[in-house]
């Protein structure tokens, strides 16, 4: 495995762990803020329920019972260099994370 590829894998794993931690902590403790992690036209499929748009997502999350998630394992891979990656810097300013 080349050093560059290992670096990309490590970076992908760190980003995935950070996102998972932010997502599930928000789901458990600040559910009203969860829609900030979704695009305006996002569609979520949760146990067969299709929910589209931020208002619908907000309502859906609020009607779910309280939760306490424990993530035991996650899987991540680096994105191929030719794939256009969006700029998440404004999102990270809001969530105190690094891109």
The residue ranges of every structural domain in the chain are 3-66+74-95
pTM for the predicted model, two decimal places:
0.71
Q: Which residue has the tokens 């994370």?
A: 97
Q: Using CB atoms within 10 A of its CB, is residue 29 exposed (0-12), middle (13-18) or buried (19+)?
A: exposed
Q: Using CB atoms within 10 A of its CB, is residue 9 exposed (0-12), middle (13-18) or buried (19+)?
A: middle
Split the chain (99 residues) into runs of 10 and give each run's mean pLDDT: 79 91 94 92 92 95 94 83 62 51
Among 21, 19, 16, 31, smallest CA distance to 67 is for: 31
d(CA 34, CA 73): 21
d(CA 92, CA 86): 12
Secondary structure E strands in 1-99: 43-46, 49-52
> What is the pLDDT at residue 75?
85
Q: Which CATH architecture has domain 3-66+74-95?
A: Roll (3.10)
Q: Convert the pLDDT of each residue in 73-93 to its tens digit.
A: 988 877 776 766 666 555 555
Which residues are CB-contacts of 13 (< 8 A; sequence separation ≥ 6)?
A: 76
């Amino acid at each position: 495995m080349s050093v560059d590829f290992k670096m990309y894998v490590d970076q992908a794993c760190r980003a995935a762990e950070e996102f998972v931690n932010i997502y599930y902590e928000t789901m458990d403790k600040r559910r009203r803020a969860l829609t900030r992690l979704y695009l305006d036209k996002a569609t979520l499929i949760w146990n067969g329920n299709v929910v589209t748009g931020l208002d619908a997502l907000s309502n859906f999350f609020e009607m779910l019972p309280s939760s306490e998630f424990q993530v035991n394992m996650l899987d991540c891979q680096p994105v191929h260099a030719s794939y256009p990656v969006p700029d998440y810097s404004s999102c990270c300013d809001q969530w105190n994370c690094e891109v």
